[in-house]
A and B are shown apart, each in its own frame.
Chain A
Amino acid sequence: MKGFGKYAIWAYSIMAFVFLLIPIAYTVAFSFNDSRRTNIIWSGFTLENWLTVCEAQGVCEAFGNSLLIGVAATILATTLGTMIAIALVRYRFRFRNATTLLIFLPMATPEVVLGAGLAAQFLQAGVPKGIGTVILAHTLFCLSFVVVTVRSRVVSLNPALEEAGRDLYASPVQVFWRITFPMLLPGIVAAALLSFALSFDDFIITNFNRGADVTFPSYIYTAAARGIPAEANVIASAVFFLAIALVLIAQLSAAARRRQLAKAA
């Protein structure tokens, strides 16, 4: 594309970025709103909400529940998913196609269906709903995403590296922990971060299975009817800045490493 086309795509894309960022900016801005009961109309700047974030009833408890659920579901899903990903790429077994289908089907299933199905199951089995059932539900939908993410990493892993390890006197266990695992680690970390993000922000499946326990998104949903306290915006903004900072640090250090490599070569 030349001339006009080139400027057009820049302009269009910048507009699209602005569009994507508007609600984020809004949410962050209203975390500084000097509001009393409802946080809808701008009534002046204050740091108060950030300093007394846990004073709004239930916000911090909901946030804590979400963290707990996110960490637990991430650990479970990452462990199970990584094992499946390795088996799918490396081994021959019967019912391979059926297994693949079973893993990818949850991703093609709408969240309401997953949520309703699990709720129906817990209802029939007489399992009381709460944080535990939410963790089980989140593990389920994170699992497929972990398999997909880690699988691509396993596929790109050169099998000659593991063979070289065996050739150099490493037992199968040593080969796994000293070669396979470190090589897969970037993929596993990416899958874990994705799992945590999915779990932390999930509302629909959570809502079907949480019982009386409250997560951060379900707190917002319930509060939406009577007005969200600014403290919710504070927590969301803090999480946002933390995540963005982590991603930026990762990106910048990768760029620095690239430059260093280019210099060394």
Chain B
Amino acid sequence: MAFTAFAGTATAVAEPAPRRRSPIALLLLLPGIFYLILFFVTPLISLVITSLQAPDPLIFGQYVNAFNWQNYVAVLEQYWPQAIRSAGYAALATLFALLIGFPLAYFIGITLRPFPLLQSLALVLVIAPFFISFLLRTLAWKQIFSVEGPVAGILSSLGALPPGVSITGTTFSVVFGLTYNFIPFMVLPIYATLVSLDLRLLEAGNDLYGSPATTFRTVTLPLSAAGVMSGTLLTFIPAAGDYINASREFLGATDTTMIGNVIEANFLVLQNFPAAAALSLILMAFILVLVAAYVKRSGTEDLL
């Protein structure tokens, strides 16, 4: 009987709820939507307005509303190295996070499947970094890599590192920090697709193709593509906008500055609000184009 296949347990087999029109929907939506309009849409509009402001001709350090689109040209001319560096660092960090995160997700989702308790403990380990301050974690790496720290000590005693040369404040340390901090964002979505993967498919793959590598390429990878897609987005977006790792007090130096640092400096230190706003909008536009392209390619809107 066809129905038996669908009927099993009552809670697992949820027919899609019939969608109704009702005034209740409006009551449920309005407060949240109002909130989003007030604190997301209007701030974006504020950003647009601010990004077009011109310096006040009378009072130094004040800005007046204008249509000064040249702000965009100016910030791009001034900060293009930081913009490109941000994209590059974020891309590298995403790649490394994928290289570390995919096997880890595979291990938890598939290798550990026969041991449910071990599997949930492993998952706790992956999210454990979330429970300790992001800043302290990053500072811990800074101190581990510092001149007085253990890594530098070992490397210089091996002669691999000239004395007095620091590992922190380099491209390596910034990308390292970004990679480390966003690995859980990569592992969790991939794990979510792999954990529901039917193991019989892998067996069938092994049965039909023989080689584990072929099975991985033709079965495992396509079936976890959705997880990889959302994992890369969830890693790339915060990495591209991050300014903790690249800041001087943490793992960066003046020549590792990313776009986030520039926005922060312009907004909070230099008080050059139009420049900060223009840079923010450029960053957002860049990321939205990327997300749209990704979503279009994968053909799903449920990535995030």
| A touching B, CB within 8 angstroms | yes
User: Which residues on A are within 8 Å of B, measured CB to CB?
Assistant: 1-2, 5-6, 9-10, 12-13, 16-17, 19-24, 26-27, 30, 40-41, 80-81, 83-84, 86-87, 89-93, 99-100, 102-114, 116-121, 123-124, 136-137, 139-140, 143, 147-148, 155-161, 197, 201, 203-204, 207-208, 216-217, 220-221, 224-225, 228, 232-233, 236-237, 239-240, 243-244, 247-248, 251-252, 254-255, 258
Report how far A8 CA is from B42 CA in the complex, Å. 52
Q: How far is the CB of B229 from chain A (nearest CB, A)?
A: 13
Residues of B within 8 A of A204 (CB): 241-244, 260
In the complex the two chains form, is A124's CB within 8 Å of B49's CB? yes
Q: List 6 A-B contacts (CB under 8 A).
A: A21-B125, A24-B132, A27-B140, A120-B50, A159-B14, A236-B132
In the complex the two chains form, is A140's CB within 8 Å of B36's CB? yes
A110 in complex: contacting residue of B42, B43, B237, B250, CB < 8 Å:
B237
Residues of A within 8 A of B281 (CB): 113
Report how far A215 CA is from B247 CA in the complex, Å. 19
In the complex the two chains form, is A116's CB within 8 Å of B40's CB? no
Report how far A237 CA is from B133 CA in the complex, Å. 9
Residues of B within 8 A of A160 (CB): 10, 15
Report how far A204 CA is from B126 CA in the complex, Å. 23
In the complex the two chains form, is A92's CB within 8 Å of B287's CB? no
In the complex the two chains form, is B132's CB within 8 Å of A27's CB? yes
Report how far A80 CA is from B32 CA in the complex, Å. 5
Of A114, A120, A201, most buried by chain B (CB within 10 Å of CB) is A120
Scan residues 166-199 of chain B and give those whose CB is less than 8 A from a CB of chain A: 180, 183-184
In the complex the two chains form, is A117's CB within 8 Å of B47's CB? yes
In the complex the two chains form, is A158's CB within 8 Å of B11's CB? yes
A117 in complex: contacting residue of B29, B133, B238, B280, CB < 8 Å:
B280
Q: Does B55 contact A (CB under 8 A)?
A: no
B130 in complex: contacting residue of A105, A116, A148, A197, CB < 8 Å:
A197
Of B11, B13, B24, B133, most buried by chain A (CB within 10 Å of CB) is B133
Q: How far is the CB of A245 from chain B (nearest CB, A)?
A: 10
In the complex the two chains form, is A23's CB within 8 Å of B25's CB? no
* Given A16-B103, A228-B139, A113:B36 Cβ within 8 A: no
Report how far A143 CA is from B284 CA in the complex, Å. 19
In the complex the two chains form, is A111's CB within 8 Å of B116's CB? no
Scan residues 108-139 of chain B and give those whose CB is less than 8 A from a CB of chain A: 108, 111, 116-117, 120-122, 124-139
Q: How far is the CB of A76 from chain B (nearest CB, A)?
A: 8
Residues of A within 8 A of B137 (CB): 23-24, 27
Interface size for B (C-beta < 8 A) is 98
A220 in complex: contacting residue of B22, B31, B139, CB < 8 Å:
B139
Closest residue of chain A to B135 (Cβ to Cβ) is A220
Please name 4 further chain A to chain B contacts, defined as beta carbons within 8 Å, in addition to the given A120-B47, A158-B13, A201-B130, sorted by A numbering. Answer: A30-B140, A80-B32, A103-B32, A252-B117
Closest residue of chain B to A224 (Cβ to Cβ) is B249
User: Which residues on B are within 8 Å of A, measured CB to CB?
Assistant: 10-11, 13-15, 17-22, 24-26, 28-29, 31-33, 35-37, 39-44, 46-47, 49-50, 100, 103-104, 106-108, 111, 116-117, 120-122, 124-141, 143-144, 146, 148, 180, 183-184, 212, 233, 237-238, 240-244, 249-250, 259-260, 263-264, 267-268, 273, 276-277, 280-281, 283-284, 287-288, 291, 301, 304
In the complex the two chains form, is A119's CB within 8 Å of B267's CB? yes
Report how far A154 CA is from B130 CA in the complex, Å. 26
In the complex the two chains form, is A9's CB within 8 Å of B103's CB? yes
In the complex the two chains form, is A120's CB within 8 Å of B46's CB? yes
Q: How far is the CB of B87 from chain A (nearest CB, A)?
A: 12
* Given A110-B237, A232-B136, A236-B133, A91:B24 Cβ within 8 A: yes
* Given A87-B28, A117-B44, A112:B33 Cβ within 8 A: no
Report how far A148 CA is from B42 CA in the complex, Å. 23
Of A92, A204, A233, most buried by chain B (CB within 10 Å of CB) is A204
B280 in complex: contacting residue of A13, A104, A113, A207, CB < 8 Å:
A113
Of A108, A110, A139, A255, most buried by chain B (CB within 10 Å of CB) is A110
* Given A80-B35, A244-B124, A91:B21 Cβ within 8 A: yes
In the complex the two chains form, is B260's CB within 8 Å of A110's CB? yes
Report how far A41 CA is from B150 CA in the complex, Å. 11
Report how far A206 CA is from B304 CA in the complex, Å. 23
In the complex the two chains form, is A136's CB within 8 Å of B140's CB? no
In the complex the two chains form, is B103's CB within 8 Å of A197's CB? no
In the complex the two chains form, is B237's CB within 8 Å of A120's CB? no
In the complex the two chains form, is B32's CB within 8 Å of A83's CB? yes
Of B13, B19, B126, B288, most buried by chain A (CB within 10 Å of CB) is B19
Residues of A within 8 A of B288 (CB): 108
Report how far A22 CA is from B11 CA in the complex, Å. 41
Residues of B within 8 A of A108 (CB): 233, 237, 287-288, 291, 304
Closest residue of chain A to B111 (Cβ to Cβ) is A9
Q: How far is the CB of A136 from chain B (nearest CB, A)?
A: 6
Residues of B within 8 A of A148 (CB): 304
Residues of A within 8 A of B25 (CB): 87, 90-93
Residues of B within 8 A of A220 (CB): 133, 135-136, 139
